[in-house]
Structures are given as C-alpha cells and as structure tokens.
Amino acid sequence: MRDKGEFLFTSESVSEGHPDKVADRISDTVVDAYLAADPYARVACETLVTTNRIILAGEVRGPETITKEHLAHLARMAVHDIGYDQEGFSWKNAEVDVHLHAQSADIAVGVDAAGSKDEGAGDQGIMFGYACTETEALMPAPIYYSHLILRRISDLRRAGDVRAKGLQPDAKSQVTLKYIDGKPVTATSVVVSIQHDADVSLARVREMLTPIVNEALPPGWMPTEAEFYVNPTGIFVIGGPDGDCGLTGRKIIVDTYGGAAPHGGGAFSGKDPTKVDRSAAYVCRYLAKNVVAAGLADRCTLQLSYAIGVSQPLSLYVELHGTGRDVDEVKLEKTLRELVNLTPRGIREHLQLNRPIYAPTSAFGHFGRTPDPDLGTFTWEKTDLVPALKSAFGR
C-alpha cells in the first residue's frame, strides 16, 4: 500500500455463515476436539459443505476415543451454533460423511522429535505477518471495518434483536477507503450482501443495515446513499451451503490482512499447530504487532520460511516500509530471534497453541482480535514483547 498521494483501497469480509466459513468452522472444531483429548494430536482436516451434506476428509493422529460418530455430531453442533436450520441446509438433516484417516508415516518421521533431533516443521513454506497504526487493533483499516460490520450484524442476529429480524447467517461485506498520504480518511463505498427471509423486502434489509454500518465506521465516514450497496442482486433468500459449495481454506485473504500485506499462500483452519502454515503465520503477526506497538515503526511486514522436517526457520525478514524510527532492520531481525524461539516447538510453547482454541478463529479474521485470558484464545495478539523491544532500542 502506498505511503504518498491519494488512492482507494478495498477489503472484504465474509460472515460465519458463508459456505467457506462454515467449512472452516467445522474443520477447526475437529482440531479442537483432538487437542482437547491430546494436546499433541495431529490434524489436517478439510471440510466440504453443500446442500444438506457435510464431508470431512484428511489425516489425523490422536486418541481412538474420538470416533467418526462423535465428529459427525460436532459438525452438526457447529452448524447449529452458526444458525442453520433451513430446508436446504440444516444441522438436523444434513448428511455427514467422515473420511479421516491416519497421518502419513512419511510426514510423521520428518516432523516428530527423536533423539537429539528437535521437532521439524510440518511443511515447507513462507509465512507473513503485518501490523500498522491505522486502527487501534494495529490492523489495516479496510479489513478491520469489513469484519466489524459483519460481527455487529452477527451479534444482533444471534441475540434475536429486532434490528436484525429476518436476517440469516450468510453475509459478505466490502469496504473501500480513501487514503491521503498513507492515512485512511473516509469510506467511499460499502457493500453488504446478506441472506434474508423471503418475506423481508430489500428496502427493509437496507433500513436495518444502514445504522449498523454507520455505527461500525468512524464518525463521518459513512458513504453517500448511492455508494452504499445492499444486496445488489436484489434478492438473497437462497444462501449458505445450499446456494454455494463451501470448502476449508478458501478465504485466506479475509483471514489475514485483506490484501494490504503479502500472504504466503497457506490456509489456517483445520490444521494443528505443528503446521507452520498456521503457527508461523501467527507468530509473524505477533512479532510485527509488537514492533509497531513498541513504537519502533508505523508499519511492519515480517516473513518467515521453513523446510519440512527442519526445526529452525530458513529465513527471517523484516520490512518497516520507511516508517522505522531510527531502527536498523538487521538488528531488529536479530533481536526478534533472541526474544522468541522460532522453531515449531518454540512457537507453540511461547504462544500456548496446543490447546482447543481454534473454533473462534474461523470467522471474522485470525488477526486484530482481543486475547481472552480465560479461554486462552488469540495469544498472538498480545503485546508482551513491547518492554523488551523498547529496551533493546533504547526507548
């Protein structure tokens, strides 16, 4: 994203009822089930959802007490929690097929610790983290407000609030912001598409959404009436997995920074924390956020890379985009390596990832969330490295 001049930038979000997010939720529910039974279980679960059908497939290594019948029940309960009891997709009536099998021995031998060999990365790959000062969550503003709009709609719908009466779980939002010299100053357009009951008119949907969007955006940012698009097709009654097939891992830009920062390509949901696609992306965000929270820079992009079966990262790269405050990026890279053990085991232990904490990550983004000390969720959003970073750079 440019630092100079005037430009527009857009990000989108999708709700927990979007077909791909339904799949993510079920896959992360499976991860949580295994980690609750065994903190060192291995899971790589993919889910497909379509008209009254749910299919789970992938590889696992964990207690045999977790049966296919139990996983099918958990999938139904996840769908129930999202709110689907429609003719075309219902937690009661959907057919659930579970095709999970034992993890490949060839992968296990490369990843498992043995003798003097530390635990290796679960795959090769590159992972990115990002933080900036555009919002209080240190997230890019377009994705932050796209998520916030849908979270507020979801909260009202789940609470049975009259302000969301007749709205259904499947929804998408898109926010376009105007930037001047790298700073967001207003929204030039907002798009919200949301599934609704057949007897709810488009005018009524717009009437319900207008105050929700206005309250989610900063004061004075609401776009003109002509640039506020609500259900542009005119009707959205058939939705969710009945309207479109959903698959795990198809919303990786929604899950991260809305396109404002690079993405290594790996999805998160359905993977236990030995998979660096997930855990290393989390620690990248953690490190980048702490750099910005410490006041060392206004923007920070961080990259890690790994090889399957190898414990130490192959590289660590930090880019401050010219916003660093007398900070040498090479020294910063060295300091971050000293503060956090960036092996897969080190990341898991530092961020306490071997716990059933992943279902809440499956919607509204994995980043920019508030850590919950009681549930142990979103530990990668903590800023507990700030004192050490300030000390290292004389702040």
Each residue's pLDDT tens digit, 336-371? 999 999 999 999 999 999 999 999 999 999 999 999
Tell me yes or no: is domain 6-14+141-238 CATH 3.30.300.10.
yes
In this prediction, residue 107 has a pLDDT band, given cuts at 50, 70 and 90, of: low
How far is residue 379's CA from residue 213's CA, in Å, rounded to a whole number?
Answer: 29
In this prediction, residue 286 has a pLDDT band, given cuts at 50, 70 and 90, of: very high
Q: Does the annotation flag 20 for ligand binding? A: yes
The helix (run of H) or strand (run of E) holding residue 125 is strand 125-132
Structure tokens at 9: 């930038």
Checking if the pLDDT of 115 tops 60, the result is: no
pLDDT in tens, 170-223: 999 999 999 999 999 999 999 999 999 999 999 999 999 999 999 999 999 999
Question: Other C-beta atoms within 10 Å of 152: how many?
Answer: 18
- CA Rg value for the chain: 21
Q: Does the annotation flag 251 for ligand binding? A: yes
Checking if the pLDDT of 104 tops 60, the result is: yes
Contact 194, 206 (CB under 8 A): no
Mean pLDDT of all residues belonging to the chain? 95
Checking if the pLDDT of 117 tops 80, the result is: no
Instruction: List the alpha helices (DSSP H) in the chain.
Output: 19-37, 68-82, 105-111, 141-158, 202-216, 240-243, 252-255, 276-293, 329-339, 344-351, 386-392
pLDDT at 112: 60
Q: Tell me what percent of the residues of the chain surpass a pLDDT of 90.
A: 91
Structure tokens at 168: 């259904």
Checking if the pLDDT of 381 tops 80, the result is: yes
Q: Does the annotation flag 267 for ligand binding? A: yes
How far is residue 64's CA from residue 175's CA, in Å, rounded to a whole number?
Answer: 46
pLDDT at 116: 45
**Tokens 């390596």 correspond to what residue?**
337
Q: Do domains 6-14+141-238 and 125-133+275-392 have the same CATH topology?
A: yes
* Crossing angle for the helix pair 68-82 and 19-37, to the nearest 10 degrees: 130
Contact 137, 380 (CB under 8 A): no
Q: Does the annotation flag 172 for ligand binding? A: yes
SS3 category, 337? helix
pLDDT at 395: 83
Residue ranges of the domains in the chain?
6-14+141-238, 125-133+275-392
In this prediction, residue 110 has a pLDDT band, given cuts at 50, 70 and 90, of: low
Checking if the pLDDT of 106 tops 50, the result is: yes
Mean pLDDT for 21-33 is: 98
Counting Cα atoms < 13 Å in the Cβ hemisphere of 325 gives: 14
pLDDT at 121: 82
Q: One-letter amino acid identity for 31?
A: V
Q: What is the pTM of this model?
A: 0.95
pLDDT at 109: 56
pLDDT at 108: 56
Contact 185, 223 (CB under 8 A): no
Residues in the chain: 395
Tell me yes or no: is domain 125-133+275-392 CATH 3.30.360.10.
no
Phi-psi region at 220: left, alpha or beta (left = phi > 0; alpha = psi -120 to 50): left
pLDDT in tens, 223-233: 999 999 999 99
pLDDT at 309: 86
362-392 exposure pattern, b = at least 16 Cβ within 10 A, e = fewer: bbbbbbbbeeeeeeebbbbbebebbebbeeb
Contact 320, 300 (CB under 8 A): yes
Checking if the pLDDT of 55 tops 70, the result is: yes
In this prediction, residue 111 has a pLDDT band, given cuts at 50, 70 and 90, of: low
Mean pLDDT for 294-321 is: 96
Structure tokens at 18: 């979007």
Q: Does the annotation flag 204 for ligand binding? A: no
What DSSP designation does 136 have? Answer: T
Checking if the pLDDT of 267 tops 80, the result is: yes
Counting Cα atoms < 13 Å in the Cβ hemisphere of 182 gives: 11
In this prediction, residue 283 has a pLDDT band, given cuts at 50, 70 and 90, of: very high
What secondary structure does DSSP assign to 229-285, as a single string? Answer: EESTTS---S-HHHHS-EETT--HHHHTTTTSS---S---TTB-TTSHHHHHHHHHH
Distance of CA 304 to the CA centre of its chain: 18
- Dihedral sign, CA of 137, 138, 139, 145? positive
pLDDT at 119: 78
How far is residue 256's CA from residue 210's CA, in Å, rounded to a whole number?
Answer: 26
Q: Does the annotation flag 250 for ligand binding? A: yes
pLDDT in tens, 134-146: 999 999 999 999 9
How far is residue 245's CA from residue 156's CA, in Å, rounded to a whole number?
Answer: 26
Mean pLDDT for 37-62 is: 97
Q: One-letter amino acid identity for 78?
A: A
